[in-house]
Structure 1
């Protein structure tokens, strides 16, 4: 049975039983404690916790998930995957344990001919929490399971909580017995791979607090509304029903594995190590494709870093299979073909998605080449010094700076007959992970605070009136100080204020929050920020500038009209620039992020190379022509399907409901889904002045523009500069570029003549410096400071000239100079000195230690530096002392 059919059977079963079928949420979650949707329940957290009233009593879904905490296990076990799909059925105060157990057992054991999944009851085991007598009784009566196939386990496996105060409850897991060929008898309690967990039923019935760990807490009492949260892994069900050995061999994953085998010439099943690598490739390519489809792009932080890591692990695995060249064009296309029936956007958006993947592979292949060169130098230096181990810090530098995988470092070192100080590397990695975990914990604390909004959200959604009104009368629903709900806030305090209605725009869709005030009888609040802490609720961060504000008081939100007008101009200008980009570059140039604030806009878009000045001018001209043409700006609230049928741009990574707000500028020319505020007609924008274009990733560019009065002021400032230049240089404006180029060429020629003069002057000092050589131990030593020098290269040339002048006896030259305000020391040794034990690199480090910096180099010539130029004489004395001690 194909994976898609299994998913369809699940949804049809629950749809017939009055469950609302909910589409999958994005892999990118709003939860501040998480980077990704790591479990099927994540999108339902607001409903399960009661912060947001559930819009349905019962639901079913197939949720896309990404989980990387077990990434090292991918490919090694039958069921660990970074991307997976979780089937779930949900009850919010409707059916509970009996209903959940009945539905699960019926769907699993009903024959395939009758629409079920066709499992033989004798192959199924269940576990329950050790004290959950009710669940055990229900499994006996509903499923007819014998007592020995109902195993009672402890909290570590059969109790669910978030690890935070809030809802919790026991769970019951269903396992499939693969048979004696796969392991020992004894049921799931043996924790043996023979028993595959396929479905987890969570009975969310208690409230907990005093949480010290995920399994150590105090049960406060029963929840007023008991919920059901279930999760069944689609990939696990698929590999069992398809009769294959693991999830990597299922129909949605196997095509990539087979292609990796073909491209590498390695047969799958012939070698365990190669098999693991092919599974990693199949999993990571699919996971990367799905992340790209949900708007994540490769970067060095956050979600983008995880995506980059997945891609690079895949590239590394291909390399370990013997393939050094690019393979992503073929591998990603194979994953698209395997997955597009379930996720059609993979087909329609593939050119955009593949551009990121191909660019990332090209970049990393260059990184591997650079890292290999660096590692080769490290190998050579280690061998030259007689060592057998590459320092852990070197391996960590390769990993952290170059993205060079540790496994590859180990492999290359082994080929060279060396080892790597893995313990030191692991220590540095642990320190880095500890910092990351501390950051994750801070995000989790932010999530815990969301429960305080529950009572306010339960009163309904905040009504936003700001599309039409700049002032709105309302009522204070809540006041929070330091995250705690209070009755009132007083003058000087910073607080959060919840209103029933507001004219103030909350930051979203790239548009920053409005500025303004909230006023009422006897008080005034300055609005510092406006956000949506949970779906449907708007919160105002305010400073109480006068009086005292309390719950239940009337309140009027007042928008700063001048700031709003400029913000509207900037947001509408963003739409114009986006449309102009697509007119100029083609439909593959799509928005990947934006920021709009009063007078300024920036737009990130998918494109792989810098824009020429001519292209920038063309984009700017198209946008300003649209301003000149005074295009009508219209907004409509329509269904998402209708908006898409009309060609509206839906931005990847954004989340949309069943109904959306569609903004047209000039009809279909610019048609986007957008909840921001906009001008009434394009002429109100005034002026768009592109002031910057830059790279923000391998396949992303960024344009920045000033808008309206800010654009005019910037052009006026440039006009003033041009006027000053024409006056100073006594040159007409149209001749300024040629005149400045002429002056620049003259300046460079003069600098070149000065440098040549200074170099000659230094060369002329060689005889005198050599004549001052003194005997230190077995060496003739010249140690002098020469004052200021133009460059370190000039000092190096002088030191080498003096060394050559010393002849064949052991000679060491140490020249100190001040270059650009910083001290530089060059050490040069001849062959006789090196034979006598003098090494330039070691001596440069001695000098650098005195200068407060670092140094090193080859045995014949090396450089040191630092920050304290006054220490140059002391640094030279330290080098002489080091020579004298030999």
Structure 2
């Protein structure tokens, strides 16, 4: 049974049983405590916690998920995957334990001809929470399971909570017995490899508080409404129904594995380590494809870092399989073909997805080449000093700064006959993980804080009137100070104010929040920020300037009209620039993010190379021509499917409801889904001035522009500069470029002549400095300060000239100089000195330590430096002392 068929049977069954079928939410979640949708219940959290009223009493879905906390297990077990699909059915105060158990058992055990999944009853086991007698009795009553196939487990295994105060409850898990070939008898309590969990039924019925750990908390009573939250792993059911050993061999994953086998020339099933690598590649390529399809792009932090890590682990695995050439074009195409029936977007958006994938692989292959060079030097230095272990900090630097995998470092070091100080490396990695955990914990607290909005959201959605009005009368539904609901806030306090209606725009879709005030009887408050902390609710962060704001009081929101006008100009200009980019570069130049505020816009788009000045000018001209043409700007609210049929452009990764707002500028020329505020005609934008274009990652570019009066002011400033130049240089404006080029050439020639004079002056000092040589240990040494120097290269050149003048006997030259506020020391050794044990790199480190800095280099020439220029004499003395000690 194909994976897609299993999913469809699930949805068909629950639709027949009066469940609303909900499409999968994006892998990118709004939950501030999470980077991704890590479980099927994440999109339903607002309903399960009661913060937002559920729009339906019961629902079912197939939810895309990404989870990387067990990434090291991928490829080693049958069931661990970073991307997975969770089949879920949900009840919000409707049916409870009996209904959930009945539905699960019927679907699992009904024959395939009846639309079920056809599991044999004898192969199914269940676990229940140790004190949940009700669930155990229902399993006997509904399924007829014998007591020995109903196992009771503790809170660690069979109790669900968010890890925060709020809803919780016991759960019951359904397991499939894979047979004696996979492990011991005795049920899931004994062996969870043989007995594979396929479905978890959560009975959300209690409220908990004082959460001290996953298993240590206080139950304070029943929830007002009991909910059902279930999740059945689609990949787990698929590998069982398809008769294969693991999820990597199912129909949606195996094609990537097979293509990796073909590219590597190795056989799957012949070697355990190779098999793990093949499975890692199959999993990670599919996960990366799905993340890219939901708008995530490779980056060095956040979601983009997780994607980059998955992609780079895939490249690394292919390299360990002996493939150094690019493979993503073929691997990603294989995953696309396997997934396109379930997720058509991977095919319709293939050009953009493949562009990012290919660019990231090319970038990482260059990184590997650079990292290999750095590692080779580190190996060489370690061997030269007689060491046998590569330091942990060097391995960590390669991993953290260059993205060079530790496994690759270990492999190359081993080939060179060296080990790696893994304990030091692991210690540094632990420090980094602890920092990441602290950051995640701070994000997790944000989720806990959302519960404070439940009562306010229960009044319904906040009505936004700002599309048509700049002032709106309302009433205060709630006041929060420091995250706590209070009845009032007083003069000087910063508070959150919740209103029934507002004319103030909450930050979203790239448009920053409105500025303005909230006024009422005897009070006034400056608006600092406007956000949507939970879906459908708008919160105003304000500072009370006069009086006090109290719950129940009238309130009028007043928008700063000038700021709103400029923000509308910038947002509409963003749409014009987007349309101009697509006109110029083609439809593959898709939006990857934007920011617009009064007078300014920033627009990110997928493109693999910088824009030429001519292309920038063309984009700017097209956008300004649209302004000149005074195109009508219209908005429509319509079903999402209809908007897409009309060609509306959507932002990748953005989440849209069934009904959307579509903004047209000039009809279909610019047609986008957008909830922002806009001008009524394009002429109101005024002027668009592109002021910057840059890279923001592989295959991602950014343009920046000033809009309206800000654009005019910038051009006026440039005009003033040009006028000043024409006056100072006594040159007509059209001849300025040639005149400046002439002056630049003259300046370079003068600088070259000055450098020649300085080099000659330094060379003249060679005999004098060479004559200062003294004996230290077994070598002759020149250790002198030459005062201020224009560059370190000059000091290096002088040191080498002195070394050559000193003849063939063991000689060391250490020259100190000041470069601005810093001090530098260059050390040069000849063959005789090195034979006597004098290494330039080690001596440079000695000097740098005295200067409060660092240094090193090759054995023949090296450099060190620091900020303590006053210690230059001491640094040179330290070099001489070190040489003397070596001669003892």
Task: Give the aligned partner of residue 522 of structure 2.
Answer: 522
Task: Give the aligned partner of residue 851 of structure 1.
Answer: 851
Deviation at 1:681, TM superposition (A): 0.2
Alpha-carbon distance between aligned partners in 1 of 2:346 and 2:807, rounded to the nearest angstrom: 72
Alpha-carbon distance between aligned partners in 2 of 1:290 and 1:808, rounded to the nearest angstrom: 66
Task: Give the aligned partner of residue 167 of structure 1.
Answer: 167
Instruction: Report the CA distance shift for 1:409/1:777 in structure 2 as closer, same or farther (over 3 A).
Output: closer
| Residues 607 and 700, structure 1, Cα contact 8 Å, conserved in 2 | yes
Residue by residue over 1:354-381, the C-alpha shift from the partner in whole angstroms, topping out at 9 and shown as x without a partner, is: 1000100111111111111111112222
Residue by residue over 1:811-846, the C-alpha shift from the partner in whole angstroms, topping out at 9 and shown as x without a partner, is: 222211122442111122222333333222222112
| Residues 163 and 215, structure 1, Cα contact 8 Å, conserved in 2 | no
Alpha-carbon distance between aligned partners in 1 of 2:721 and 2:459, rounded to the nearest angstrom: 57
Deviation at 1:849, TM superposition (A): 1.2
Task: Give the aligned partner of residue 93 of structure 1.
Answer: 93
Task: Give the aligned partner of residue 445 of structure 2.
Answer: 445
Alpha-carbon distance between aligned partners in 1 of 2:335 and 2:458, rounded to the nearest angstrom: 43
Task: Give the aligned partner of residue 669 of structure 2.
Answer: 669
The 10-residue stretch of structure 1 (266-275 or 694-703) with the greater mean CA deviation from structure 2: 266-275
Instruction: Report the CA distance shift for 1:251/1:522 in structure 2 as closer, same or farther (over 3 A).
Output: same
Deviation at 1:852, TM superposition (A): 1.3
Alpha-carbon distance between aligned partners in 2 of 1:365 and 1:778, rounded to the nearest angstrom: 47
The 10-residue stretch of structure 1 (860-869 or 344-353) with the greater mean CA deviation from structure 2: 860-869
| Residues 511 and 596, structure 1, Cα contact 8 Å, conserved in 2 | yes
| Residues 516 and 526, structure 1, Cα contact 8 Å, conserved in 2 | yes
The 10-residue stretch of structure 1 (465-474 or 810-819) with the greater mean CA deviation from structure 2: 810-819
Alpha-carbon distance between aligned partners in 2 of 1:180 and 1:839, rounded to the nearest angstrom: 65
Q: How does 1:484-563 map to 2 (within 5 A)?
A: 484-563=484-563
| Residues 206 and 220, structure 2, Cα contact 8 Å, conserved in 1 | yes
Task: Give the aligned partner of residue 242 of structure 2.
Answer: 242
Q: How does 1:64-75 map to 2 (within 5 A)?
A: 64-75=64-75
Tell me the SS of whatever aligns to 1:213.
coil
Alpha-carbon distance between aligned partners in 1 of 2:809 and 2:310, rounded to the nearest angstrom: 59
1:432 aligns with 2:432: yes
Alpha-carbon distance between aligned partners in 1 of 2:35 and 2:804, rounded to the nearest angstrom: 62
Task: Give the aligned partner of residue 636 of structure 1.
Answer: 636
Q: How does 1:122-521 map to 2 (within 5 A)?
A: 122-521=122-521
| Residues 184 and 191, structure 2, Cα contact 8 Å, conserved in 1 | no
Alpha-carbon distance between aligned partners in 2 of 1:354 and 1:815, rounded to the nearest angstrom: 54
Task: Give the aligned partner of residue 868 of structure 1.
Answer: 868
Alpha-carbon distance between aligned partners in 1 of 2:484 and 2:652, rounded to the nearest angstrom: 35
Residue by residue over 1:405-441, the C-alpha shift from the partner in whole angstroms, topping out at 9 and shown as x without a partner, is: 1111111112222211111111111100000000000
The 10-residue stretch of structure 1 (379-388 or 168-177) with the greater mean CA deviation from structure 2: 379-388
Deviation at 1:744, TM superposition (A): 0.6
Q: How does 1:730-879 map to 2 (within 5 A)?
A: 730-879=730-879
Deviation at 1:884, TM superposition (A): 2.7
Deviation at 1:212, TM superposition (A): 0.5
Count of residues paired in the alignment: 886
1:567 aligns with 2:563: no
Deviation at 1:451, TM superposition (A): 0.2
| Residues 605 and 701, structure 2, Cα contact 8 Å, conserved in 1 | yes
Residue by residue over 1:254-291, the C-alpha shift from the partner in whole angstroms, topping out at 9 and shown as x without a partner, is: 11111111111111111111111111111000000000
Task: Give the aligned partner of residue 653 of structure 1.
Answer: 653
Task: Give the aligned partner of residue 711 of structure 1.
Answer: 711
Deviation at 1:485, TM superposition (A): 0.4
Tell me the SS of whatever aligns to 1:690.
strand
Alpha-carbon distance between aligned partners in 2 of 1:328 and 1:296, rounded to the nearest angstrom: 17
Tell me the SS of whatever aligns to 2:698.
coil
Deviation at 1:473, TM superposition (A): 0.2
Alpha-carbon distance between aligned partners in 2 of 1:264 and 1:803, rounded to the nearest angstrom: 52
Deviation at 1:768, TM superposition (A): 1.4
Alpha-carbon distance between aligned partners in 1 of 2:521 and 2:844, rounded to the nearest angstrom: 74
Deviation at 1:773, TM superposition (A): 2.1
Task: Give the aligned partner of residue 683 of structure 2.
Answer: 683
Tell me the SS of whatever aligns to 1:189.
coil
Residue by residue over 1:669-727, the C-alpha shift from the partner in whole angstroms, topping out at 9 and shown as x without a partner, is: 00000000000000000000000000001110000000000000000001111111111
Alpha-carbon distance between aligned partners in 1 of 2:451 and 2:506, rounded to the nearest angstrom: 20
Deviation at 1:182, TM superposition (A): 1.4
Deviation at 1:14, TM superposition (A): 0.4
Alpha-carbon distance between aligned partners in 2 of 1:41 and 1:269, rounded to the nearest angstrom: 36
| Residues 479 and 485, structure 1, Cα contact 8 Å, conserved in 2 | yes
Tell me the SS of whatever aligns to 1:211.
coil
The 10-residue stretch of structure 1 (811-820 or 39-48) with the greater mean CA deviation from structure 2: 811-820
1:63 aligns with 2:66: no
Deviation at 1:781, TM superposition (A): 2.3
Alpha-carbon distance between aligned partners in 2 of 1:319 and 1:732, rounded to the nearest angstrom: 60
The 10-residue stretch of structure 1 (114-123 or 841-850) with the greater mean CA deviation from structure 2: 841-850
Task: Give the aligned partner of residue 586 of structure 1.
Answer: 586
| Residues 755 and 790, structure 1, Cα contact 8 Å, conserved in 2 | no
Alpha-carbon distance between aligned partners in 1 of 2:173 and 2:715, rounded to the nearest angstrom: 67
Task: Give the aligned partner of residue 117 of structure 2.
Answer: 117
| Residues 183 and 191, structure 2, Cα contact 8 Å, conserved in 1 | no
Alpha-carbon distance between aligned partners in 1 of 2:787 and 2:247, rounded to the nearest angstrom: 70
Alpha-carbon distance between aligned partners in 1 of 2:861 and 2:811, rounded to the nearest angstrom: 12
Tell me the SS of whatever aligns to 2:525.
strand
Task: Give the aligned partner of residue 577 of structure 1.
Answer: 577
The 10-residue stretch of structure 1 (237-246 or 377-386) with the greater mean CA deviation from structure 2: 377-386
Alpha-carbon distance between aligned partners in 1 of 2:272 and 2:769, rounded to the nearest angstrom: 67
Alpha-carbon distance between aligned partners in 1 of 2:416 and 2:809, rounded to the nearest angstrom: 38
Instruction: Report the CA distance shift for 1:832/1:880 in structure 2 as closer, same or farther (over 3 A).
Output: same
Alpha-carbon distance between aligned partners in 2 of 1:700 and 1:808, rounded to the nearest angstrom: 56
| Residues 298 and 360, structure 1, Cα contact 8 Å, conserved in 2 | yes
Alpha-carbon distance between aligned partners in 1 of 2:354 and 2:198, rounded to the nearest angstrom: 33
The 10-residue stretch of structure 1 (737-746 or 409-418) with the greater mean CA deviation from structure 2: 409-418
| Residues 571 and 596, structure 2, Cα contact 8 Å, conserved in 1 | yes
Alpha-carbon distance between aligned partners in 1 of 2:809 and 2:125, rounded to the nearest angstrom: 87
Normalising by structure 1, we get a TM-score of: 0.99
Alpha-carbon distance between aligned partners in 2 of 1:382 and 1:877, rounded to the nearest angstrom: 27
| Residues 499 and 539, structure 2, Cα contact 8 Å, conserved in 1 | yes
Residue by residue over 1:170-210, the C-alpha shift from the partner in whole angstroms, topping out at 9 and shown as x without a partner, is: 00000001111211110111033110101000000000001
Tell me the SS of whatever aligns to 2:794.
helix
Instruction: Report the CA distance shift for 1:5/1:777 in structure 2 as closer, same or farther (over 3 A).
Output: closer
